[in-house]
Structure 1
Amino acid sequence: MRGFQLTAFKFAAIVAFGGFIFGLDAALISGTVRFITAEFTLSDLQVGTVVSAPGFGVIFALLVTGRICDAWGRKTALLIIAALYLLSAIGSVLAPNFEMLVAARFLGGLAFTSLSLASMYIGEIAPANMRGKLVSMNQITTVVGLSAAYFANYLILQASNADAAWVTTLGIDQYTWRWMLGVEVVPALIWLLMLLIIPESPRWLVLKGRLSEARAVMGKLMPAGHIEPQIQEIQESAAAAPSGSFRQQVAEIFKPRLRTAFWVGLVIAVAQPITGINAIMFYAPTVFEQVGIGTDAAFLQAVVVGVVSVMFTILALLLIDRLGRRPLVLFGLAWGGASLFLCSWAFNQASYELTADSLQALAAANIDVSALQALVGTVFETDVSFKQAMYQALGEATARANEAALIQQAIQIDATLVLAGIMCFIASFNLSIGPVMWVLFSEIFPTHVRGVAIPFFALIVSTVSYFVQQFFPWQLNNMGAAEIFLFYAACITVSLALLFRLLPETKNKSIEEIEATMVRA
């Protein structure tokens, strides 16, 4: 790797570390669901509110992010985001009640724009032949953060069950979920400090007329002979584009000349979250408990999800500039859809029945099984009917607190089939639409509207993601696992058909070359 490429890699790596913080923030909450539900006596919709609060916060942040990064610069916006992550992490750890926990996580959601801003910044400093790889680093650090969160949750859960003096001294057994959320504090502080050393985006500097500063930054990223032609290319692109206020820039996105870019951006922005990825990633232990493997195994399985995510994101990084964006997206969606159809079929074949041996196992776990005696031998065809029977017999609070154990003792299912289907879905997502979406967002929009367009379409991603996260607990207890997986599989199928028709190939093209093909005269 040459000196200029190494410098671009260094700056990209620092900015992409925000993806690691995002991954931690997104996945640490998954391990706390059972604990906060019991401590604050939460309903399904309240659980969804806690988990989805960042997804709600980012909707508001994205309304102003474009204006901030265009007016104050990409670097300043990233520094603000890092500070918000830090404040949110501290507030979540100290939250005394449900309302304050939601407020702290909402604050963190204001920082979730880090993914779109990082893609924008990296796309603007990266050489054309490295852009796919460098922008994809954002996804790699995100899945590494997710994996680290699942692993940290698993270790903290095991520690909380250990009979050791240091566990009691540190309060890990009493404040388990607070320790889980506290994992984010130190990395968030480190990222804030690292961002101080990156330069401003040279493209933004050119657009603001700060040419001497732009030349200084470009001097670190490309040979001297390339600087003036690059500046001229950016200026010509900006001069040919309509200028105007923030509102006019937003309106520009909807004009016929950008119609191709608009439809590609819209479809992929909806397609990525509607796959249901956030339902699985944000509620990973809860999802795996539905298979009947128990709480400890569910937390361990979540760690496997993180490992698979990292492996296939790295594979995407290696392939994205070789095979291209389009083949990865289409293959990944087809594979993911088939995987979720498989999960739906397996849950549709499942049944639930308590036996005398089941009651003995539940009693050994300190569950009062006297109210369950009348249900022994009753076969329930769906998870929904089984859970409703448990709520009526034990009371909703008790049944919810012991749901994993109840399902484990009653379910008859091909667990291997479901686990394989979920893992294949995770692999397909991280090989394709997960990293490729952000690469495309950094490429398909003209420079003069990119600061508005990327946050705008990220807003669509976040809105759909919010609804997926908010209503998943309710859907799980009212629709059932089979119907949820079937719904996500159907959504993937529709997305695949649309992107097969619309999605262009952009590999090895400069941003200006892509603009020439995507924008009508």
Structure 2
Amino acid sequence: MLGTIFAPESPWWLVRKGRLEEAKASLLRLTSPGRVEFDVDQAITLMVVTTENEREAGTGTSYLDCFRGVDLRRTSIACCCWGIQILSGTGLRIYSTYFYQQAGLPTEQAFNMTIAQYALGIVGVFLAWTTLPRFGRRTLYLWGLGILATILLVIGSLGVAKAKHPADMSNKLSWVVGSMLLVYTFFFDVTVGPVCYSLVAEIPSVRLRSKSIALARMTYNILNIVSNIITPYMLNPSAWNWGAKAGYFYGGTCALSFMYTYFCIPEPSGRTYAELGILFQKKTPARHFARTPVDLPDVRGVEIPATKEA
């Protein structure tokens, strides 16, 4: 709460309200001195132009507008980006200690593996700080989902092999299953985990961003409820008793997420919000976003009009 009190207001929100001087001050507060050089007046002008273009294109400001015209595509992509976090198999991470136990590890070792899992997750996020500026969001999502789907299918196959081998070999396979989940956690926290937040924030239109993010988070929560209900049934010996074979289920949903990402999620990296708006208005295929040229008006010397939110 204290951090929020001292945080600067969103420059985009201030621009939409016509409070341009406050928007400049906020933008300067959000910029690292000496690391990023830019013309703040030109940046604010581009924000105004982007907002006006979206208004002229018919983008409204209500939740209903999220499902109209071009914004329907943008909203659905944002919702799916956050839903993919669940569909990529994160349910097994949430119940990791129980998963390790059902995979055959002793209780103490299952707890130790969980601690190692969270430590790897932290390392993965630190690594994501360096990969995000260097690789595209779409690229990281695709590679991440491809790797995660492969790991989950391997976990499922190990679960099948474990059921067919004697106890001594079964114990060894239990450790392999646990190790694979550690590898899964690392790659999840390098790719799909943190990249999702960039995509969800960058894909929606400027005027509907807050509402689109709210809808996307609602999608995540609904899928998370479903995952939290069915995953214990998958792992519980007195219920479905899938054990490590649950990797097949989430491997399948992860593979479907990979296909959706390939065909539907565009590459926003390196694009301004104005460029993204034009690409969506032109109905550019997701696979062509990165290399499609966009002509933007030269905003240098353009007089900034006073704007008000409709």
What TM-score, normalized by structure 1, do the two folds share?
A: 0.48
Q: Are the counterparts in 2 of residues 288 and 298 from structure 1 also a CA contact under 8 Å?
A: yes
Post-superposition offset of 1:209 = 2.5
Deviation track 1:454-481 (CA, whole Å, cap 9, x = no partner) reads 1111111111012111332223222221
The structure with the greater share of residues assigned to helix is: 1
Selected match of 2:117 from 284, 298, 305: 305
Distance of 1:506 and 1:242 partners within structure 2: 21
Distance of 1:334 and 1:255 partners within structure 2: 32
Q: Are the counterparts in 2 of residues 206 and 234 from structure 1 also a CA contact under 8 Å?
A: yes
What letter is aligned with 1:495? Answer: S
Post-superposition offset of 1:269 = 2.8
1:251 aligns with 2:64: yes
Secondary structure, counterpart of 2:134 in structure 1: coil
Partner in structure 1 of residue 191 of structure 2: 432
Secondary structure, counterpart of 1:290 in structure 2: helix
Partner in structure 1 of residue 134 of structure 2: 322
Partner in structure 2 of residue 441 of structure 1: 200
Distance of 1:446 and 1:472 partners within structure 2: 35
**1:23-42 mapped onto 2 (5 Å cutoff):** none
Partner in structure 2 of residue 283 of structure 1: 95
Distance of 1:413 and 1:486 partners within structure 2: 20
Partner in structure 1 of residue 301 of structure 2: none
**1:367-516 mapped onto 2 (5 Å cutoff):** 412=171, 414-477=173-236, 478-479=239-240, 480-516=242-278
Deviation above 4 Å: which 4+ runs of structure 1? 222-225
**1:51-200 mapped onto 2 (5 Å cutoff):** 192-200=1-9
Distance of 2:155 and 2:191 partners within structure 1: 20
Partner in structure 2 of residue 212 of structure 1: 21
Deviation track 1:374-427 (CA, whole Å, cap 9, x = no partner) reads xxxxx9xxxxxxxxxxxxxxxxxxxxxxxxxxxx99x65512320222122112
**1:329-368 mapped onto 2 (5 Å cutoff):** 329-351=141-163
Post-superposition offset of 1:436 = 1.1
Post-superposition offset of 1:497 = 1.4
Distance of 1:267 and 1:200 partners within structure 2: 28
What letter is aligned with 2:276? Answer: I
| 484 and 514 in structure 1: CA distance in 2 versus 1, 3 angstrom threshold | same
Distance of 1:241 and 1:327 partners within structure 2: 27
Distance of 1:348 and 1:413 partners within structure 2: 14
Secondary structure, counterpart of 1:321 in structure 2: helix
What TM-score, normalized by structure 2, do the two folds share?
A: 0.78
Distance of 2:207 and 2:232 partners within structure 1: 41
Structure exhibiting the larger radius of gyration computed from Cα positions: 1
Distance of 1:298 and 1:348 partners within structure 2: 20
| 448 and 520 in structure 1: CA distance in 2 versus 1, 3 angstrom threshold | farther
Report the count of equivalent residues.
273
Deviation track 1:243-272 (CA, whole Å, cap 9, x = no partner) reads 9xxx96222222232344234324323222
| 506 and 293 in structure 1: CA distance in 2 versus 1, 3 angstrom threshold | same
Distance of 1:249 and 1:207 partners within structure 2: 14
Structure 2: give runs of 5+ residues left out of the alignment: 284-310
Distance of 1:482 and 1:288 partners within structure 2: 9
Distance of 1:520 and 1:252 partners within structure 2: 18
Distance of 2:112 and 2:281 partners within structure 1: 48
Distance of 1:334 and 1:506 partners within structure 2: 20
Post-superposition offset of 1:239 = 2.4
Post-superposition offset of 1:340 = 0.9
Distance of 2:228 and 2:172 partners within structure 1: 26
What letter is aligned with 2:88? Answer: T
What letter is aligned with 2:192? Answer: I
Post-superposition offset of 1:352 = 9.6
Partner in structure 2 of residue 230 of structure 1: 43
Structure 1: give runs of 5+ residues left out of the alignment: 1-191, 354-378, 380-407
Distance of 1:233 and 1:481 partners within structure 2: 54
Partner in structure 2 of residue 241 of structure 1: 54
What letter is aligned with 1:420? Answer: S
Deviation track 1:207-255 (CA, whole Å, cap 9, x = no partner) reads 2223332232233345897232222222222223349xxx962222222
Post-superposition offset of 1:346 = 1.3
Give identity over the alignment, percent.
Answer: 21
Deviation track 1:37-95 (CA, whole Å, cap 9, x = no partner) reads xxxxxxxxxxxxxxxxxxxxxxxxxxxxxxxxxxxxxxxxxxxxxxxxxxxxxxxxxxx
Post-superposition offset of 1:283 = 1.9
Q: C-alpha root-mean-square deviation of aligned residues, in Å?
A: 2.8
Distance of 2:26 and 2:135 partners within structure 1: 31
Distance of 2:63 and 2:281 partners within structure 1: 16
Post-superposition offset of 1:309 = 1.1
Q: Are the counterparts in 2 of residues 326 and 505 from structure 1 also a CA contact under 8 Å?
A: yes
| 218 and 265 in structure 1: CA distance in 2 versus 1, 3 angstrom threshold | closer
Query: Quick one: higher RCO (CA 8 Å, sep 6+), 1 or 2?
Result: 2
Distance of 1:520 and 1:262 partners within structure 2: 16
Secondary structure, counterpart of 1:506 in structure 2: coil
Q: Are the counterparts in 2 of residues 291 and 415 from structure 1 also a CA contact under 8 Å?
A: yes
Distance of 1:225 and 1:323 partners within structure 2: 23
Q: Are the counterparts in 1 of residues 11 and 27 from structure 2 also a CA contact under 8 Å?
A: yes
Distance of 1:414 and 1:272 partners within structure 2: 27
